[in-house]
Amino acid sequence: MASIIKDGIKIHTASVKAVDLLHEAQTAAESRNTTSASPESISIRIKIFHSSFSSVIGETCTFSLLVSADSSRNPFFHKGCTYIPDTDELYVTSDLLQSSSSSRLPVILISKLAFRRASDSDSSSTPVSGIEWMKLRPPANMPMPSGAIRYKKGVLYCSQGSLEPNSGGLFYMPLGKRPVPLVTNYFGKAFNSIQSVVEDSDGGLWFTDSCAGLEQDIRPPPQLPPHVYWFHPTTGELRVVADGLKRPTGIALSPDGGTLYVTDTEAARLGNTMIPTSSATIYAYDIVRRPGTSPLLINKHVFSFAFSGVPAAVTCDSAGNVYAACGDGVEVWNSGGTALGLIQIPGACSSLCFGRNGEIFVCGGQTLWRVQLGGAAFHA
Residue-wise pLDDT tens digits, 238-266: 999 999 999 999 999 999 999 999 999 99
Inform me whether the pLDDT recorded for 357 exceeds 90: no
Query: What is the C-alpha to C-alpha distance for residues 246 and 227, in angstroms, rounded to an integer?
Result: 9
309: DSSP letter:
S
Residues 6+ apart with CB under 8 A from 377: 55, 56, 317, 318, 319, 321
User: pLDDT grade, residue 215 (50/70/90)?
Assistant: very high
Query: What is the C-alpha to C-alpha distance for residues 171 and 93, in angstroms, rounded to an integer?
Result: 14
Inform me whether the pLDDT recorded for 57 exceeds 90: yes
**Which of 132, 154, 156 is closest to 142 using CA atoms?**
156
In order, the DSSP letters of 58-86 are -S--EEEEEEE-TTTT---B-EEEEEETT
Query: What is the C-alpha to C-alpha distance for residues 129 and 356, in angstroms, rounded to an integer?
Result: 15
Query: What is the C-alpha to C-alpha distance for residues 139 and 120, in angstroms, rounded to an integer?
Result: 34
User: pLDDT grade, residue 296 (50/70/90)?
Assistant: very high
Beta-sheet pairing, 205-210 with 227-231: antiparallel
Residues 6+ apart with CB under 8 A from 315: 252, 322, 323, 352, 353, 354
For position 292, what pLDDT does the model report? 85
Query: What is the C-alpha to C-alpha distance for residues 42 and 33, in angstroms, rounded to an integer?
Result: 11
Inform me whether the pLDDT recorded for 32 exceeds 80: no
Inform me whether the pLDDT recorded for 179 exceeds 90: yes
For position 28, what pLDDT does the model report? 44
In degrees, rounded to 5, the angle at the alpha carbon of residue 345 between the alpha carbons of residues 317 and 121 is: 55
**Which of 194, 196, 281, 288 is closest to 244 using CA atoms?**
281
Query: What is the C-alpha to C-alpha distance for residues 256 and 320, in angstroms, rounded to an integer?
Result: 8
Segment 312-326, tens digit of pLDDT: 999 999 999 999 999
Query: What is the C-alpha to C-alpha distance for residues 45 and 57, in angstroms, rounded to an integer?
Result: 11
For position 102, what pLDDT does the model report? 60
Interval 45-63 mean pLDDT: 94
Average pLDDT over the chain reads 91
8 A C-beta contact, residue 215 and residue 277:
no
Distance from CA of residue 378 to its chain's centroid? Answer: 20
Q: Please state, in angstroms and as integers, the Cα–Cα distance from residue 345 to each residue in 17, 39, 60, 184, 380, following that order.
A: 14, 10, 17, 36, 27
Inform me whether the pLDDT recorded for 33 exceeds 60: no
8 A C-beta contact, residue 318 and residue 377:
yes
CA-based radius of gyration for the chain: 20
Distance from CA of residue 312 to its chain's centroid? Answer: 7
Cα separation of the two ends of the chain:
41
Beta-sheet pairing, 79-84 with 4-7: unpaired
96: DSSP letter:
-
Query: What is the C-alpha to C-alpha distance for residues 113 and 136, in angstroms, rounded to an integer?
Result: 11
User: pLDDT grade, residue 109 (50/70/90)?
Assistant: very high
